[in-house]
Structure 1
Amino acid sequence: MTGLKKGLTTIAAAAGALAMGLSLAACGGTNTADSSNSGSGDAGSATPTVSFMLDWTPNTNHIGLYVAQKLGYYKDAGVNLKILPTAQAGAETSVENGVANVGFTTLSNVAAFNSQGADLKFVFDLTQKQVARWCALASRTDIKTPKDLSGKTFVSFGSAEQTAVVQQMIKYAGGTGEIKTATAGTNTFETLTSGKGDFGGFYVTWEGVESELNGPALNCFVASDWGVPGNPDQLGFAVKSSWLKDSKNADALKKFISATKKGYDYALANPDKAADLLVEQAKEAQLDSKLTRTSMEEIAKNGYWTTDDPKSLPGTVNFDDAQPYLDFQYKAGTYKDKDGKDPAEAPQAKDLATNDYVA
């Protein structure tokens, strides 16, 4: 993952996404991984197969899938998992077009795609706390609060959602909200250190950890501290709503989520062991073992995925946090219909998401 490109990029491209697909270049390709012994299964197989598309190169956001696969949780649940590498079209378009049954995305992305006419349903929420951070290099002593970002250059991937968040933070801090933009390269750290930009978006559980381990040091802000309502960072799984109309698919999804949740719970209780399993299972991603371990330790320690029990993942959408953020983005003009116009009303979290498939 680099500089919040994962997930948030899709908002910027949503207008043409359903017809032309998205341009999400992954940090590196991944080989298809299958939890069954006989390939991906077929129509005659007694055990259903769920195909899952990643949104990015494997990282700790996906650790529950790889742990559950390695430890046999899917087999125990009576379902096979086939992990698909990120497609250039993106996980959302791939799910909409039937290329994958389930895809990793965000609730806000589902709102953007469904505003365009897609038929997606958010069925599992991994993150319960905000993981996005808006950061400048710590060496930039002229940037102390978001107010100081006024007139500065924002390193982004053209996302209207990101821009709305940043402008709100700046205005809340007393700035004008006016910013310049620069397109990020393959690494937002490099774009900032080269002087081509002043600040950018990062995930505290990955790039934040990378910064702590390897530098450069960052000075970061959390959106909710600066006037952005709700939780912007509801990352999880989506399916095509019509796919669920088949009771066999609905049953397979429940089994898949149950086993996957067990994989994430194992990772919370055994962060180092789970990180090592991820590195082993996703060899082609060439994950740094120390970064992966420290990332998982950060997640477990600070409860980004949990609420009451630090060792158990709820997996459910917090609708009270979801709707205020969707309302905020709607007012900012982020969501557009297929004609490029503002929808008649804000996307409704209760229509976009369900907790019915999380046991």
Structure 2
Amino acid sequence: MQKRLIPAVFALVMGLTACSNNQDVNKADDKNTVTSDNNKKSSRKAENKSDEVVKEEKDPDTNELKKVTVVLDYTPNTNHTGLYVAKEKGYFKEKGIDVDIVQPPENGAEALVASGKADFGVSYQDSMANVLAGDAKMPITAIAAIIQHNTSGIMARTNEGIDRPKGLEGKRYSTWNSPVELNTIKKVMEVDGGDFDKLSLIPSTPLDEVAALKEKQTDAIWVFEGWGKVNADIKDYPVDYWNFKDIDDTFDFYTPVLIANNSTIENDKELVQDFVDATRKGYEYAIDNPKESADILLENDDSLDKDLVYASQKFLSKEYKKDTDKWGIFDKERWAKYYTWLNDNDLVDEKLDVNSGFTNEFVE
């Protein structure tokens, strides 16, 4: 699963999840149309199952529910499980919200949320960088961290010496040619004593990373551990893998995140709080019930690989709020450290306020 980069910011077509990874990533062309999750095949409705009945806090009549649109960053995957759980089990309805989950258009979730055509969206800290300042500035703010740590890194065929960044010397790396992406690779290679100039760059964004490695189309690919690496594991294909954050904690940025329009945050705090509370409940359920939550995701998109979803969900359920007691919380220093690196390396059109772009108001 490759990360999607905003075309206005970086050059090409995600995401590691874990789907998840890191870079403003574009999705494949055939998956860019906005599609309501209501059109997905679903064989289970939470309100029809006695063990899933929720107590309505507000009028259960859908005519009285507030319509809300959530736009994803990519096609449905385990980064999004908590959203589907919250919808399927009635957590949104508890809060008086009727949520429609849609897939992103060509110009991305950020643009749709900024324009007011979607109320909430899924993005990444790195993708947000160039739309928080400069001519491309958009009125969006991250309101919750879906996953606490960056679970993306480099995956390569095993026993070829790419079990560390320096091992990329003399190898071929599949790139989408993003300045942020390439500077990230350069930095971790330098930290490990490697020479970035000795790396061969292959313009390519494989959708099936395992197949690309098997067929030797490339030697190394940026993936989300919870999707690309897990996919290799369930296919019994031996790979070497390392996380960027383990090489340099500068790269432990937030990916993915939930975003909202600044106007909504300022003028309808109750809606934002209700949405975050219900979403948190969905992810908490996924943390405690990986198999059942994976089933809900699969019922909302029958095109997904069942074995991959189960394995990925088992991995991510341990990552959603790893090292913290509160799902969705942002570490201010960690957020600022990554944006400081972008500023210092001139990777943004205009210098960022390194403390901007997120709020803990709705997750604390």
The correspondence for 1:266, drawn from 285, 293, 297, is 285
Unaligned runs of at least 5 residues, structure 2: 13-23, 39-44, 48-61
Name the SS of the counterpart of 2:9 in structure 1.
Answer: helix
Paired residue for 2:331? 318
CA drift at 1:151: 4.0
CA contact (8 A) 1:50 1:253 kept: no
TM-score by length of 1: 0.83
Q: Matched residues in 1 for 2:34 and 2:310: separation?
A: 20
Q: C-alpha distance in 2, partners of 1:71/1:214?
A: 32
1:129 pairs with 2:149: yes
CA shift in 2, pair 1:144/1:73, >3 Å = closer
Distance 1:331 1:105 in 2: 23
- What is the DSSP-based 3-state SS (H/G/I as helix, E as strand, rest coil) of the residue aligned with 1:175? coil
Distance 2:205 2:28 in 1: 13
Superposed displacement of residue 143, structure 1:
2.6
Aligned to 1:334: 347
Contact 1:30 1:57 in 2 (8 A): no
Report deviation, 1:64. 0.6
Letter in 1 for 2:339: L
Question: Following TM superposition, by how much is the alpha carbon of 1:32 offset from its aligned partner in structure 2, in angstroms?
Answer: 0.9
Instruction: Give, as a single letter, the amino acid of the residue that structure 2 aligns with 1:162.
Output: E
User: Residues 159-215 of structure 1, C-alpha deviation per residue, up to 9 Å, x if partnerless?
Assistant: 222212111110011111223322224333333333332211111111111110014
Q: Distance in 2 between matches of 1:170 and 1:53?
A: 35
Aligned pairs, number: 328
Q: Which of 330, 347, 359 is residue 354 of structure 1 equivalent to?
A: 359
| Counterpart residue type for residue 127 of structure 1 | I
| Other-structure match for 2:228 | 207
For the residues of structure 2 that align with 1:293 and 1:22, how far apart are their CA atoms? 25
- What are the within-5 Å matches in structure 2 for residues 145-156 of structure 1? 145-156=164-175
CA contact (8 A) 1:111 1:347 kept: no
**2:300 is the alignment partner of 1:287:** no
Give matches, 1:20-59, under 5 Å.
Answer: 23-25=26-28, 28=31, 31-33=35-37, 46-59=64-77
How big is each residue's C-alpha offset from its partner over 1:50-106, in whole Å with a ceiling of 9 and x where there is no partner?
210011111111001111111111111111111112212211122122221111011
Distance (whole Å) between structure 2 residues aligned to residue 280 and residue 15 of structure 1: 34
Q: Name the amino acid aligned to 1:290.
A: D
CA offsets 1:105-158 (integer angstroms, 9 cap, x no match): 112211222233222111111111221021211142x33421121343221222
What does the per-residue CA deviation read over 1:231-272, in whole Å, with 9 as the maximum and x for residues that have no partner? 13431111221333323xx22121111111101101111110
Residue 252 and residue 299 in structure 1: after superposition, are their counterparts in 2 closer, same or farther (change >3 A)? same
SS in structure 2 of the partner of residue 14 of structure 1: coil
Residue 225 of structure 1 corresponds to 246
The residue aligned with 1:297 is 314
Q: Distance in 2 between matches of 1:87 and 1:107?
A: 19
Structure 1: gaps (5+ residues)? 38-43, 337-342
Identity %: 22
Question: Residues 84-99 of structure 1: matches in 2 within 5 Å?
Answer: 84-99=102-117
Residue 26 and residue 57 in structure 1: after superposition, are their counterparts in 2 closer, same or farther (change >3 A)? Answer: farther
Counterpart residue type for residue 210 of structure 2: F
Q: Secondary structure at the match of 1:50?
A: strand
Q: Secondary structure at the match of 1:333?
A: coil
CA distance, structure 1, for counterparts of residue 101 and residue 201 of structure 2: 35
Deviates more, 1:83-92 or 1:259-268: 83-92
Determine the structure 2 residue equivalent to 1:14.
9
Q: CA 1:89–1:30 in 2, change beyond 3 Å: closer, same or farther?
A: closer
Amino acid at match of 1:132: S
Rounded Cα–Cα distance in structure 2 between residues aligned with 1:163 and 1:32: 34
AA paired with 1:114? L
- Tell me the secondary structure at the aligned position of residue 205 of structure 1: helix
Partner Cα distance (1:22, 1:162) in 2: 10
* Whole-angstrom CA distance in 2 between matches of 1:186 and 1:32: 23
- Tell me the amino acid that sits aligned with residue 315 of structure 1: G
Q: CA, structure 1 residues 125+23, in 2 after alignment: closer, same or farther (shift >3 Å)?
A: closer
The answer to whether the 8 Å contact 1:126/1:315 transfers is: yes
C-alpha distance in 1, partners of 2:336/2:312? 29
1:136-147 matches, cutoff 5 A: 136-140=156-160, 142-147=161-166
The one-letter code sitting in structure 1 at the alignment partner of 2:272 is: L
Match of 1:196 among 192, 217, 225: 217
One of 241, 245, 248 as aligned partner of 2:262: 241
Partner of 1:307: 323
